[in-house]
Amino acid sequence: MTLAEPSFADRDGSIWMDGELVPWREATTHVLTHTLHYGVGVFEGVRAYSTQEGPQIFRLTDHTKRFLDSAKIMRMELPYSFDELCEAQREVFRASKLDEGYIRPLAFYGSEAMGLRAQGLSVHVSIASWPWPSYMDPVLQERGLNVQTSSYTRHHVNISMCKAKAVGHYINSILALSEANDGGYDEALMLDNEGYVAEGTGENIFLVKSGVIHTPELTSCLAGITRDTVMVFARELGFDVIERRITRDEVYIADEAFFTGTAAEVLPISQLDGRKIGTGTRGPVTEKFQSMYLEEVHGRSSGHPEWRTPVKKD
Ligand code: PPE
């Protein structure tokens, strides 16, 4: 018998909350927290990996910049500076005593007032860290995902502010993912409001066609940090990378397609809407990016040391 994973509310350890580490089980908030009712909050998903020099956080400064940008878009004034937020993420990860794990900064409103007109709400920041070894079944990392185009449209740029990684945006992703999972698929592909390919529910998408890499422009997908990492790798390998509008049938006839994201890392897409992509297994270009990504995050490549921040004290 295997024991069920403990609830996220009932674990040992510490969570950084409003400037200090508090015991995990005490990192709670009131049910009239504004964000719980209206979804105005922002978050990040960051990973730390084991390296020869101890755990290092991958692209910490880029994630922290995006966190601050998301807050600015949502008009949330964070009571912490960029440096304080970077330090806090390192502190949480040190306290976790993990070698590898996921780090989740979150900014949310307090419970001083209710309603859409609420004024003077306090802004709280929490940062938790936990082991999250593989977002998808490890088999899928090799075999690839069976994906369905979603019946849900990705946010329109003037409905949700897509540059913000905002709490409420994920309603859309969760509806799309649960629809896909109910149908037996591993993930959903979301189209934008004009019918062009946007992104997965928590990942950006890439195609490989005749030796060229294509990915949707940033107008209706999150400015993914893994997306950027893969684009840097692709250009270093001499590939042309084109950011443009892509139609769903272009994905059907691509040589390879894959998703990127902090949680997902690099994941091949083997089928979309019942059509095999290329050979229907992980393609060589996807495999190359997967291995380059893992080499980089684990510090086994000398490529981009600037992307890794040690967790240990300076
Ligand atoms: N698009 C969406 C909608 C998205 O949520 C993510 C990250 C990405 C693209 C990729 O962005 P980046 O991580 O910077 O490469 N999704 C986060 C949340 C996943 C979750 O299940 O929670 C993540 O990967 O951490």
How would you write 82-146 as a 3-class SS string? HHHHHHHHHHHHHHHCCCCEEEEEEEEECCCCCCCCCCCCCEEEEEEEECCCCCCCHHHHHHCEE
CA of 45, closest atom in ligand 1? 25
Amino acid 1: pLDDT: 42
As a whole number of angstroms, the distance between CA 311 and CA 142 comes to 30
CA of residue 176 to ligand 1 center, whole Å? 15
pLDDT, tens digit (0-9, with 9 covering 90-100), for 167-180: 999 999 999 999 99
The protein residue whose alpha carbon is closest to atom 25 in ligand 1 is 45
To test the pocket of ligand 1, the residue of 170, 172, 199, 203 to mutate (highest count of ligand atoms within 8 Å of its CB) is: 203
CA 254 to each of CA 195, 213, 293: distance values in angstroms, whole numbers, following the listed order: 18, 10, 22
Q: Nearest 5°: phi and psi at 127?
A: -140, 120
Residue with tokens 């270009």: 285
> Which tokens belong to 29?
């908030």
Query: What's the chain's average pLDDT?
Result: 96
Cα–Cα distance for residue pair 135/110, rounded to 1 Å: 30
Lowest mean pLDDT among 14-28, 125-139, 228-242: 125-139
What is the pLDDT, as a whole number, of residue 135? 67
Nearest CA to ligand 1 atom 2: 202
- pLDDT over 60 (residue 25): yes
Please check the confidence at residue 2 and state whether its pLDDT lies above 60: no
Atom number of ligand 1 nearest to Cα 66 = 14
Top mutation candidate among 204, 259, 267 for ligand 1, by most atoms within 8 Å of CB: 204
- Using 50, 70 and 90 to split pLDDT, how confident is the model at 137? confident
Which pLDDT score, from 0 to 100, does residue 226 have? 98
Average pLDDT over residues 5-30: 96
pTM for the model: 0.96
Write the residue with the smallest CA distance to atom 5 of ligand 1.
Answer: 202
Atom 16, ligand 1: residue with shortest CA distance:
202
Which residues are tagged catalytic?
A: 165
Q: Helix or strand or coil: residue 30? A: coil
Helix-helix angle 225-236:284-297, to 10 degrees: 110
Mean pLDDT of 253-280: 97
Pocket-forming residues, ligand 1, beta carbon under 6 Å: 45, 173, 199, 202-204, 221-222, 224-227, 260-264
Average pLDDT over residues 224-249: 98
Tell me which residue has tokens 């009131």. 30
58 Cα distance to chain centroid: 12
Amino acid at 276: K
E strand or H helix at 47: strand 46-49
Rounded distance from Cα 165 to ligand 1 centre (Å) = 8
